[in-house]
Amino acid sequence: MLENSYSYPSFKGGNAEQCDNYHPISVLPTLGKVLEHLVYNQCIKYCNDNSILSVSQAGFREGHSTGACLADFLNEIYEEIDRRGGGGTCGVLFLDLAKAFNTVDHLILIDKLKLLGFKASTQSWFKSYLSNRSQATKVGNAISGNQEVSCRVPQGSILGPFLFLCYVNDLPSHLNHAQGFLYADDTALVIRGKNPFVIQDQLNVELSNVARWFDANKLAMNVSKTKLMHFRHSRNIRNNIELDVHIGDEIIESVSHFKYLGITVDKHLSFDTHIDKLCGKINSRNGLLKRVRNFVSKDLATRLYRSLIDPHFRYCNYIYSGCSLTNKRKLQIAQNNSLRAIARVDNLYSTKTLHSDLDID
């Protein structure tokens, strides 16, 4: 009973008619989750007490967050650029794994648990946990027949994320030149230096190393979604070249901005693109707030702001706190529009007192 589950397809984005744009979320029996939680507490304590998990991995770990991972990632880049007085440069590969959680090989996973020092009895328990599992897919009222699950860790489970961390734990140890920043399967490889041509060569070597590791662990890199970015100071004309990185015959696309862990970073670290997208998203919600304001109280409108709009302002906002005054002004205008919508005043109304009146900072 505990090995059976329903799987719901969760839309990730893109073309809704393509199956690749969905990933399965398992709905597991409650009793099974209680048992998983007990096992997880013991396993994670063992890992923490013995410093088992890589310091490069921030995903699904207590005391770690996307914000902390982003801060470490950007600090690596800022440090290089500032250390050389604006003459430094960094090459970054943003790796994309195709269905990472769904392609975890069970035999390889058990071998990795052994290498991490888990006892034979623990390995046997996980063998039992992973074997004889089946799932049915449910969409609306339609349910498929049960199918055996021969690989993957169940998403929606307590142990699934932990097991995935164990599976990819040795990836950073296979890097020769790059500093890896991992949040579960979101991986960025950073190589820093003064000479962009040396960085280009090292990126190519590192990508080959990572590709071999993926092959050995039966994981697949989505080359079309893997991106390259060349970070350098906007005044650094000498390093204003495009890096050429490829895997086999496929060229890794070089981009000027990329959304990493919810924040769109650009090659000059201006955060212009991120703030433009953020303000567009907030202004869209402001329009919704204005439309419903005539039918709800001020208190409810404030609650809607706190649940639908304010989290977008707050998410990792310290990452781009040093952005230009122009960008800060854009954010302030977007918030002023929110306050006016809540207070039901026109666009010429001063917002100086609205912050204190609505208790919104």
- CA triplet 180, 184, 188: central angle to 5 degrees? 30
Q: What's the rounded Cα separation, in Å, for the pair 113 and 341? A: 55
Chain-centroid distance, C-alpha 51: 23
**Residue (of 303, 286, 263, 281) closest to 344 by Cα position:** 286
- What's at 271, amino acid-wise? F
Q: What is the chain's mean pLDDT, rounded?
A: 89
Angle formed by the axes of helices 30-49 and 159-167, nearest 10°:
40
What's the confidence (pLDDT) of residue 1? 45
What's the confidence (pLDDT) of residue 348? 79
Give the residues of the chain that fall short of pLDDT 50. Answer: 1
**Residue (of 315, 316, 293) closest to 304 by Cα position:** 293
What's the confidence (pLDDT) of residue 134? 67
**Residue (of 272, 284, 287) closest to 328 by Cα position:** 272
What's the confidence (pLDDT) of residue 19? 73
**What does pTM read for this prediction?**
0.88
- CA triplet 254, 236, 320: central angle to 5 degrees? 70
